[in-house]
Copies of this chain bind each other. A is one copy, B any other.
Amino acid sequence: MSLSILVTGGAGFVGSHTVLELLNAGHRVICVDNLCNAFGAVDAKLPESLKRVQELTGKNVTFYDVDIRDKNGLREVFKKHQIDCVAHFAALKAVGESCRIPLQYYQNNITGTSVLLEVMAESNVFKFVYSSSATVYGEPQKLPLDEKHPTGNCTNPYGKSKYFTEEILKDLCESDPRWSVISLRYFNPVGAHKSGRIGEDPNGEPNNLMPYISQVAVGRRPCLKVFGNNYDTPDGTGVRDYIHIVDLAEGHVCALDKLARGDLKGFVVYNLGTGCGYSVLDVVEAFSKASGKEVKYEIVDRRPGDVATSYADVTLAAKELGWKAKRGLKEMCEDTWNWQRLNPNGFSGAN
C-alpha cells in the first residue's frame, strides 16, 4: 500500500533517514520543517539533507518551510495534500539547552505537537507516529526497560516535554476513538546512511557521544569528555543502547505500515533499541577500530541527570511491529565515520 505521509522535522537526523526509507518503500513524502537546526535554509527550496535524499532515492520530496506552531501554515499543507499518516519528528532535542531555555522547548515540543494534532483532526487525519525517547523512563527501576516501566520523573525540560506529550497523546486517544497513535521510544540513535551522504550534523558542540567522538576523530575537536568513570558498570562509564539510524528509520516504516493497515486503535508504545548496552569506552574503542584514528578522551565529572545504565527490552516491537534492529556497533561506527570523513564539516561543506 502506497501512502502519503507527512513528515515533520524531515530535514533533521532521524527525519531525513526516515524519509529516505519511506521513499524506498514506495511511499510519497511531504515534509515540513522550520529549518531551525538544518543546513540549507538559505535557498530554502530544499534543505541539503533532503536534496541528498532525493539524489539517493531518485524520488521527489515535497517540502514546506513551515513551523508546526503555525496553525495556518499547517492548514495550507493539509489542504494541498491528502495525507494518510503523520510521522512527527519536529522538536528541539538538546538536554543542556533545554535547561537554559525551557519555555522554548515546551513551546516547540508541546505546543507545536498540540497545534499539529488539532490541524490533523480538522483535516480528518488520525494516524500518528510520535518521536519519543527512552528518557521518559527516568531513572531505570529495572533493566532491561520494557514498555510497562513507569514513566515520568524526567530530570530536564527536554525529557519532560517528551513525557508530557505522550500523556497528551494518551488522553487524546482516550477521548476520541478515531485516533491511532504509535509512540516510538528511541534509545540512542547513531550511525548514518551507508552512502555517507546523510548523517547527524549537530550545531555547535555535540550533546551526544557518537558525533562527539567522530568530530574528535576527524580533528574538529581535540578531545572527548567522558562524564564520569565511577558508575556501577563494568568499566565505570555509562552504558547505553545505541541503535543504528537506518534500523530506527525502518522501525518507523513498520509503524506507519501498521497504522495504515488499521490493525491498531488508541495509543501504543514501542521501544526502538537493540537490547544491547555498550559503555562509553566500548564505543570509543569500536570507533577507533572502525576509523583507524585515535580518539583522545579525558574523564571529567558526571553530568547531572545521567543514569548509569539504560537498555531496551525489544521484544514488543519484534512481536507487534515485526521489526528488529539488524546493525551492530561495528556498523554504527563505520557508517558514522564514513559520513564524518566524507563531510568533515557536516552539510555546511556541501558538495
**A interface residues, Cβ below 8 angstroms from B:** 99-103, 106-107, 110-111, 114-115, 117-118, 121, 152-153, 156-157, 160, 164, 167-168, 171-172, 174-175
The 7 closest A-B CB pairs, nearest first, are: A102-B171, A111-B111, A157-B171, A164-B164, A102-B175, A106-B168, A106-B114
- Min distance, Cβ A317 to any Cβ of chain B, angstroms: 27
Question: Contact partner of A172 among B103, B115, B164, B168, CB < 8 A?
Answer: B103
- Min distance, Cβ A342 to any Cβ of chain B, angstroms: 38
Q: List residues of chain B with CB within 8 A of the CB of A107.
A: 111, 114-115, 118
Q: List residues of chain B with CB within 8 A of the CB of A121.
A: 103
Q: List residues of chain B with CB within 8 A of the CB of A175.
A: 99-102
Within the assembled complex, what's the spacing in Å between the Cα atoms of A111 and B167?
15
Within the assembled complex, what's the spacing in Å between the Cα atoms of A110 and B105?
13
**Chain B minimum-CB-distance residue to A173:** B102
Q: Could you list some 17 contacts between A and B, CB below 8 A?
A: A99-B171, A99-B175, A103-B114, A103-B121, A103-B168, A106-B110, A106-B168, A106-B171, A107-B111, A110-B111, A110-B114, A111-B111, A111-B114, A157-B171, A160-B167, A160-B171, A164-B164
Q: Please determine whether B103 and A174 come into contact, CB atoms closer than 8 angstroms.
A: no
Q: List residues of chain B with CB within 8 A of the CB of A111.
A: 107, 110-111, 114
- Min distance, Cβ A160 to any Cβ of chain B, angstroms: 6
Extra contacts besides A152-B153, A157-B171 (13): CB < 8 Å: A99-B174, A100-B175, A102-B171, A102-B174, A102-B175, A103-B172, A107-B111, A107-B114, A107-B115, A107-B118, A110-B110, A111-B111, A152-B152
Q: Please determine whether B99 and A117 come into contact, CB atoms closer than 8 angstroms.
A: no
Q: List residues of chain B with CB within 8 A of the CB of A160.
A: 164, 167, 171
Q: List residues of chain B with CB within 8 A of the CB of A153.
A: 152
Within the assembled complex, what's the spacing in Å between the Cα atoms of A99 and B99?
31
Q: List residues of chain B with CB within 8 A of the CB of A102.
A: 168, 171-172, 174-175
Within the assembled complex, what's the spacing in Å between the Cα atoms of A254 and B172?
38
- Min distance, Cβ A223 to any Cβ of chain B, angstroms: 29
Within the assembled complex, what's the spacing in Å between the Cα atoms of A43 and B57?
60
Within the assembled complex, what's the spacing in Å between the Cα atoms of A168 and B157?
8
**Chain B minimum-CB-distance residue to A100:** B175
Most chain B CB atoms below 10 A, which of A117, A153, A172, A175 = A175
Q: List residues of chain B with CB within 8 A of the CB of A157.
A: 168, 171
Within the assembled complex, what's the spacing in Å between the Cα atoms of A322 and B107?
36
Question: Contact partner of A103 among B106, B117, B156, B167, CB < 8 A?
Answer: B117
Within the assembled complex, what's the spacing in Å between the Cα atoms of A153 and B167?
11
Within the assembled complex, what's the spacing in Å between the Cα atoms of A160 and B102?
18
Most chain B CB atoms below 10 A, which of A107, A115, A118, A152 = A107
Q: List residues of chain B with CB within 8 A of the CB of A103.
A: 114, 117-118, 121, 168, 172
Q: List residues of chain B with CB within 8 A of the CB of A106.
A: 110, 114, 168, 171
Most chain B CB atoms below 10 A, which of A103, A115, A121 = A103
Q: List residues of chain B with CB within 8 A of the CB of A110.
A: 106, 110-111, 114, 164
